[in-house]
Amino acid sequence: MAPMVVDLILGWWLVAASRAQQLPRPSLSLHPSQGVSLGDTVTLRCHLPRLAAWVWLFQEGGWSYNKGKEKERDTAEFSFVSTLREHAGRYRCQYRESWSEEASEKSDPVELVLTDVRYPPSSISIHPEQHVGTGTNVTISCWNKDYGATFLLHKDGSSAPIKHQDSSGGGAANFTFLAVTPADSGTYRCSYRPRGYPFVSSPLGDSVMLEVTPTPAPPGTPKLPDPTGAEEQSRANLVMALVRGFVAALVFGLGVFFVIDALSLWIQRDDNCVSLSPSCSCLMAPMAVALILGAPPRRPEAVQLQVPCSDSDCLTYVELQAKPPTTRCPGPPADPQPPTIYADVRTGGPH
């Protein structure tokens, strides 16, 4: 009988554990999240991923509270006035669905820290000075009337303390920043938590300003090469060289095209001239070549015609150019005239 009871208990526990694991964990938030003083109203909101019938709020080491959840809302709010130090602490929440008897896992904790104005604020100082250059070591010191407390360093703009340190009975703490940079610039304040009250804090004390300015390199210090800048400059030079080469090739190609087009035009004009007047081609071709090549045209020389001798008479005819050649095709003359002049040269006696 005993083994059967053990099996039933173990099975029930396994079923309960599996159901609890199947329920998503809720989340908890605190309002206001910081700067809560004794006597302020505090609200804790439990955000529920499922419809729930009951929600519980737990304080670790302290009290718990439960309430029924409204169906049309996905959060359950717990508000109270923090009139006691005992209200400070760490909180979690948990929920149960209406159809199940099993509860979900507890949420991650949130801390409620109460500020007690009955504790005097701590003092603060900065060394070596407020205005320093990059790479300087800076120390911010905080102290009080030896409450044996834990000191916290706050920076304006940060929601939580950036550093904390337990005092060794001297009532002081030193926060050192090694090789500060401009990112460390800002306004700093100190607070402390008395021993035995880890969630009770003193008010924030006076502030100090830290301003970090970039330090210029000493004269004669070689500048380190910038690999990124050199690589970008090399790429820019390569692109520029490609563009220049493309433009040069384009200009050269256009020049060759125009020369070929001009030659084609001259040849076409010569062909048209030949079809109109055969003698024109003899004049235009040399002129076109001369114009393209830049050489002056040659004048046709005189042509001698030798006539075979007959008996004792032998005549020699010389063809003389009447006028210099022209690049224009001559039209039909108004009065037909012989284009050449013949001279009769006699080598013998009278004829």
The token pair that represents 100 in the structure block:
């199940």
Please, are residues 105 and 95 in contact by the beta-carbon 8 Å criterion?
no
246-286 tens-digit pLDDT: 888 888 888 877 778 777 776 766 555 545 444 444 444 44
What pLDDT does 69 receive? Answer: 73
What pLDDT does 305 receive? Answer: 47
Beta-carbon count within 10 A of 254 CB: 10
User: Which of 219-223, 324-328, 330-334 has maximum average pLDDT?
Assistant: 219-223
Please, are residues 161 and 140 in contact by the beta-carbon 8 Å criterion?
no
Q: What are phi and psi of 87, to 5 degrees?
A: -70, -25
Please, are residues 106 and 94 in contact by the beta-carbon 8 Å criterion?
yes
- Average pLDDT of the segment spanning 304-330: 49
Q: Which amino acid is at 113?
A: V
What pLDDT does 174 receive? Answer: 93
What pLDDT does 43 receive? Answer: 94
The token pair that represents 284 in the structure block:
């235009």
Q: Is it the case that residue 193 has pLDDT exceeding 70?
A: yes
Label residue 303 by pLDDT band (50, 70, 90). very low
**Better-scored residue on pLDDT, 89 or 254:** 89
- Average pLDDT of the segment spanning 216-244: 68
Q: Is it the case that residue 168 has pLDDT exceeding 60?
A: yes
Which single residue is written with the structure tokens 């149960």?
96
What pLDDT does 311 receive? Answer: 46
User: Which of 27-41, 42-56, 126-140 has maximum average pLDDT?
Assistant: 126-140
The CA-based angle 71-72-75, given to 5 degrees, is 85
User: Which of 15-29, 260-274, 337-351 has maximum average pLDDT?
Assistant: 15-29
How does the average pLDDT of the chain come out, rounded?
A: 75
Label residue 326 by pLDDT band (50, 70, 90). low
What pLDDT does 4 receive? Answer: 58
- Average pLDDT of the segment spanning 300-314: 49
122-148 tens-digit pLDDT: 999 999 999 999 999 999 999 987 677
**Better-scored residue on pLDDT, 119 or 146:** 119
Q: Which amino acid is at 144?
A: N
What pLDDT does 274 receive? Answer: 47
93-113 tens-digit pLDDT: 999 887 777 889 999 999 999
Q: Is it the case that residue 338 has pLDDT exceeding 60?
A: no
CB burial class (10 A; 0-12, 13-18, 19+) of residue 152?
buried
Q: Kindly write down the DSSP assignment for every residue of 77-135, as one continuous string.
A: EEEEE--SGGG-EEEEEEEE-TT-S-B-PPPPPEEE-EE-TTSPPPEEEEES-SEEETT
The token pair that represents 291 in the structure block:
């114009």
Domains of the chain (ranges, CATH numbers): 2-115 (2.60.40.10), 123-213 (2.60.40.10)
What pLDDT does 247 receive? Answer: 84
- Average pLDDT of the segment spanning 178-193: 95
Q: What are phi and psi of 252, to 5 degrees?
A: -60, -45
Q: What is the number of residues in the chain?
A: 351
What pLDDT does 218 receive? Answer: 62
Please, are residues 191 and 203 in contact by the beta-carbon 8 Å criterion?
yes
What share of the chain in percent tops pLDDT 70?
A: 63
What pLDDT does 14 receive? Answer: 54
